[in-house]
Amino acid sequence: MTNPFPPTPSPEVYTAVSAAMSRYVWALDTADIDALMSIFTPDGLFEDTRGTIAEGREALRGMFGGLMARDDFRGRQHHIDSLLIEPRGDDIGCRAYWTVTKWHRDAGEKIFEVLGWSNDLLRWDGHELLFVERRVHYWNDAVGPYRPLGG
């Protein structure tokens, strides 16, 4: 049987991917739209959990700006972990889990809002890794990349 997982990336590659993910969630959760745009390539693509695709920084700015303007968005924290990194030619692919948490202070509730996974493509621009594609998907008891035994 062949190993279904890519080879373990170097510590430098792992650190660079982790840093890109950290820059992404910090910019998103602090509603720093300019910082968020700076970590996508000019032709970058984002696909949300509904399958809506924004391509290019102008479209990305519109999609993320609309999300950040929503009252229910404030206070969310996005967490990305379990990075499964794989080389894809000159680019770097990454599959990861993501979790969105929120502390509803007035209600006294600390909750998990949603869980999912992502399929990302990153490219080195000479200084840092930028997102070429970020595709996010839900993961719950009805949807996700789950394969039952024999499936």
Is the pLDDT assigned to residue 145 strictly greater than 90?
no
The chain-wide mean pLDDT, for the chain, equals 93
pLDDT > 70 fraction of the chain, expressed in percent and rounded? 95
Band (1; pLDDT cuts 50, 70, 90)? low
Band (147; pLDDT cuts 50, 70, 90)? confident
Sign of CA dihedral 94, 56, 24, 79: negative
Is the pLDDT assigned to residue 6 strictly greater than 80?
no
122/19 Cα distance (integer angstroms)? 12
Contacts of 32 (CB under 8 A, 6+ apart): 26
* 53-55 vs 40-47, strand pairing mode: antiparallel
Amino acid at 15: T
Is the pLDDT assigned to residue 114 strictly greater than 90?
yes
Q: If you write DSSP's letter for every residue of 90-123 in order, what string do you get?
A: TEEEEEEEEEEEEEETTTTEEEEEEEEEEEEEEE
User: Apex CA 42: angle with CA 37 and CA 44, to 5°?
Assistant: 80
* Residue 14 in tokens: 């792992």
